[in-house]
Structure 1
Amino acid sequence: MKELKFRAWNKIRKVMSYDVTLYANGWVDCVFEDGSEDKYPPKIAKEILVIMQYIGLKDKNGKEIYEGDIDNCDEELMYVIYKDGSFGLKFLNPVQGEENYFDDFINWDVLEIIGNVYENEELISA
């Protein structure tokens, strides 16, 4: 059974928490790298947090892979998404008319995560 973990991007503070607890009543608890801790009621959490799930796998360097992570796949930037009940990859800048999403036969352990769509905006605009 894969490990169920989450991270959260705080859109206001512009900081990522890798220590996230989701409660059945909708509350979210985030502990940030600086040691600060924020607790959010459901309505506020939905407005200011982007919650991403760990996919249960690691890249070729042993780094945990989460939704929103960016991979430089054969010089083509792709990011991890959850769609139709599974995790897959989507081109950051798809060529018009090309397939934009892949979920079959991804060899996750050869990917190299180079950042994520929230903390590394310079990769998105490249």
Structure 2
Amino acid sequence: MRSIKFRAYQKNAKRMLPVVNIGFDSNGIIESVSVDNNGCNGEYNVSPRLHTFYKGDNIYNLELLELMQFTGLTDKNGKEIYEGDKVIHPVYSKSTIIYSQKYLGLAYEYIHYFNEGNIGEPMHEVRICPLCGDIFLKDLELIGNIHDNPELLK
């Protein structure tokens, strides 16, 4: 069984935090998320400083966080890949790891550039493909995420 874990991007502070607990209501809807405030960007200190964000709270509102789930995959260098990470592949160039309703799971989204007959401006389209296949996965390299590296979205 793969590890099920999350990280959270705190929008107002513009930082990534490790998630230590997620609370659900009786309908299975997330109502609270606890993060390790000392664990910013994976640098853990001895004593965690927990903050819990709640739905509707004035200061620590759940809306300030964006949760990203671990894919269960690592890149070719052993780095964990999360939803929202930017990866690079020798064939597909830069891709973003996303959740796809179409594939009911994780997928990669990339821009396909083409220019029919090399006339005029290069054209492109966004393509979404399921995240699978050992041949594809063994060549992935993590290069950042959509929050800490917005320049990678270009």
TM-score when scaled to structure 1? 0.84
Structure number, greater radius of gyration: 2
Distance 2:146 2:18 in 1: 15
Shift of 1:9: 0.2
Q: Map of 1:44-123 to 2, 5 A cutoff?
A: 44-45=61-62, 47-74=63-90, 76-84=93-101, 85-91=104-110, 93-95=111-113, 96=123, 98=125, 100-103=127-130, 105-106=132-133, 107-123=136-152
Check conservation: 1:28, 1:42, Cα contact below 8 A. Answer: no
Q: Indicate the residue corresponding to 2:44 in structure 1.
A: none
Shift of 1:99: 5.3
Distance 1:11 1:111 in 2: 27
Q: Determine what percentage of the aligned residue pairs are the same residue.
A: 31
Shift of 1:121: 1.4
Q: 1:110 to 1:18 in 2, by over 3 A?
A: farther
Distance 2:149 2:126 in 1: 24
Q: Indicate the residue corresponding to 2:35 in structure 1.
A: 30
TM-score when scaled to structure 2? 0.70
SS at match of 1:23: strand
Q: How many residues align?
A: 123
Identify the structure with bigger relative contact order (alpha carbons < 8 Å, sequence gap 6+): 1
Gaps of at least 5 residues in structure 1 are none
Q: Choose which of 41, 61, 79 in structure 1 pairs with 2:54.
A: 41
Gaps of at least 5 residues in structure 2 are 26-30, 41-47, 114-122
Shift of 1:17: 0.8
